[in-house]
Amino acid sequence: MKAHVANLIHSVVLVATSCWGYFGSETPSGTALIPAAIGVLLLLCQGGVKRESKAIAHVAVLLTLLALAGNGMAMKGAMGREDSAAVMRVALMMASSVFAMVAFVKSFIAARRARTGA
């Protein structure tokens, strides 16, 4: 899968799932919208990722890694609260992050091979 498609899917998953968690909660916390903010930033990177801009793609990877790490912390909290809906939402965001990260790494490997002519 192309990196820009994976980035778009990942962005939408982060925004939608984060908003679902925030607006679906009886006691919403502003921290639930952090993944949505990262998703919006990733959407802003979308054009550069599609054009295969090296710098913007690296920013998108950094944001994706940040989302993965942050959701890892959120997973510990959701499991500690024994909130199965939150665990499901966070697991979905983490899976999306891993999916996007794999697509980025494959894209970087393909770009390097194309540059070296191998």
Q: Where do the structural domains in the chain lie, given as residue ranges?
A: 3-116
pLDDT one-digit tens code per residue, 57-69: 999 999 999 999 9
Report the mean per-residue pLDDT for the chain.
Answer: 94
Split at pLDDT 50, 70, 90, the class of 102 is very high
Region of 28 (left: φ > 0; alpha: ψ -120 to 50; beta: rest) is beta
For residue 30, CA distances in Å to 23, 67, 77 come to 10, 16, 15
pTM, two decimals, is 0.91
pLDDT at 85 over 80: yes
Reported confidence tier of residue 115, pLDDT bands at 50, 70, 90 = confident
42: part of which helix (H) or strand (E)?
helix 34-50
Is pLDDT at 28 greater than 90 in this prediction? no
In this prediction, residue 57 carries a pLDDT of: 95
Distance of CA 100 to the CA centre of its chain: 7
